[in-house]
Structure 1
Amino acid sequence: MFKLLLIEDDTTLFHEIKDRLSQWSYDVYGITDFNKVMEQFTDIRPDLVIIDIQLPKFDGFHWCRMIRSHSNVPIIFLSSRDHPTDIVMSMQLGADDFIQKPFHFDVLIAKVQATLRRVYNYNTDKVELKTWCGATIDYEKNTVTHPNGTIVLTKNEVFILKLLIEKKNRIVTREELINSLWDDKRFISDNTLTVNVNRLRKRLDELGLGVFIETKVGQGYMATEEANNYA
């Protein structure tokens, strides 16, 4: 049974979401003290976190940063705000998905199921290590190790990188990436993929590898082993 942590201060909504997700055999936990979110996160050790943006004490962005400093657990944001910068900020902080309130519970359940399936069940064809541009990518540990250092990627980031490297020097279309990452593209904005790829590049830039992920305008993205200016 997967354990889900729902960081939501609206008691009514919390219980509605908990009831719906419990019907799918998920074990849903809530926050009892918003001064001790990280303590409860550590105690629960959830398999997925759902965070509202507007919360007491600190907002959801703060808690996303805190969680990401300790864990690569998948994170889905909830928000009643409709400003595009909220989606961009969420993805830049390492969130896996974003759901705008009000939402249909079928959409929430579909996104939770897709995220859990992708994070915990995706097939790496039993290839745990891959070399690329002088770096070693560990698909099991989600790390990229290079003479310039080691970075830890989120599940979304390593999944995108894996798809691109598998088709190195060939264009992977935006549609293919979206379908592989989120199952049902009806629930995903095109900007969500852009933010995820940009975040991956930013992380790879720490090792000097961001230039090896090229944008093919109007088509998709391509991993190469010859540096080009992608900006």
Structure 2
Amino acid sequence: MEKIMIVEDDMKIADFLSSYIEKYGYEVTIAKDFEHVLDTFREVQPSLLLLDINLPSYDGYYWCRQIRNESICPVIFISARTGEMDQVMALENGGDDFITKPFHPDIVMAKIRSQMRRAYGEYATKYKERVLVKEGLSLYPERLEISFKNEVTQLTKKESDIIESLLERYPRVAGRQDLLEKLWDDQVYVDENTLNVNITRVRNKFQEIGIENAVETVRGAGYRLRISWKEEKS
């Protein structure tokens, strides 16, 4: 069953949408913790997200940007804001569509179905899925997934990009500056520690699929993938 996640702080609207959408065979989750929307998203893994803009703590634009770092699932903004700039901001921050309040539930369902078809169904782009394979290690960038010897784990978008860079340069070194520019090319300055933190997360993901010591630090240069070390855990 396809899952829809609703992030709306007006519980009357959220409950109304949930009841209406469920009638069409979808499984619906309403987010209740507005300070940890991304955690709920990771737990639910929805096929589509309905997202309000005006939320406690952080607005919908912020949460859409966080989600876009690790998922390409359709995001439909629902908001009482009617200005053209609000709709532009929604799309610029990663949204796929925009619905203004008050809305008719049939319009919401039509837009949900449209986005589902484009993302997963008859209108989805037909192309061969990209897979990077080196010595039995397989990365699926579109799925944000990596596998090795029947072990599979999910990745964030940043983790997938790092692993892709390491695989593309394997067995050569991927330079630190190259990784920084590829992963954060939209930012003027990124703390070096940010890359270190993401490399640590990548190492943990390799451990989850049974590969120890997969990412070697090459002092003064960058990082190198050592898939040949995979047999250490066999």
TM-score, normalization by structure 2: 0.54
The residue type equivalent to 1:141 in the other structure is E
2:32 counterpart of 1:20: no
| 1:35 counterpart residue number | 35
Matched ranges for 1:55-74 at <5 A: 55-74=55-74
Give the distance between the partners of 2:24 and 2:57, measured in 1 at CA.
31
TM-score, normalization by structure 1: 0.55
Unpaired stretches in structure 1, ≥5 consecutive residues: 130-139, 144-151, 153-204, 207-231
CA contact (8 A) 2:51 2:75 kept: yes
Give the distance between the partners of 2:112 and 2:15, measured in 1 at CA.
17
Structure with greater Cα Rg: 2
**Which secondary structure does the structure 2 equivalent of 1:88 belong to?**
helix
Give the distance between the partners of 1:5 and 1:125, measured in 2 at CA.
26
Which digits, 9 at most, give the CA deviation of each residue in 1:112-160, with x for residues without a partner?
011011100135455557xxxxxxxxxx8399xxxxxxxx8xxxxxxxx
Give the distance between the partners of 2:72 and 2:127, measured in 1 at CA.
21
Matched ranges for 1:195-210 at <5 A: none
| 1:141 counterpart residue number | 142
Give the distance between the partners of 1:125 and 1:30, measured in 2 at CA.
32
**Which secondary structure does the structure 2 equivalent of 1:71 belong to?**
coil
| Structure 1: 4+ residue segments shifted above 4 A | 123-129
Q: How many equivalent pairs are there?
A: 137
The residue type equivalent to 2:75 in the other structure is I
Give the distance between the partners of 1:27 and 1:59, measured in 2 at CA.
25
Give the distance between the partners of 1:58 and 1:43, measured in 2 at CA.
19
Matched ranges for 1:142-157 at <5 A: none
| 2:98 counterpart residue number | 98
User: Shift in Å at residue 49 of structure 1?
Assistant: 0.5
Give the distance between the partners of 2:32 and 2:126, measured in 1 at CA.
41
Give the distance between the partners of 1:36 and 1:60, measured in 2 at CA.
12
User: Shift in Å at residue 32 of structure 1?
Assistant: 1.8
Change (3 A) 1:91 1:124: closer
Change (3 A) 1:123 1:12: closer
Give the distance between the partners of 1:117 and 1:90, measured in 2 at CA.
21
Change (3 A) 1:142 1:108: same
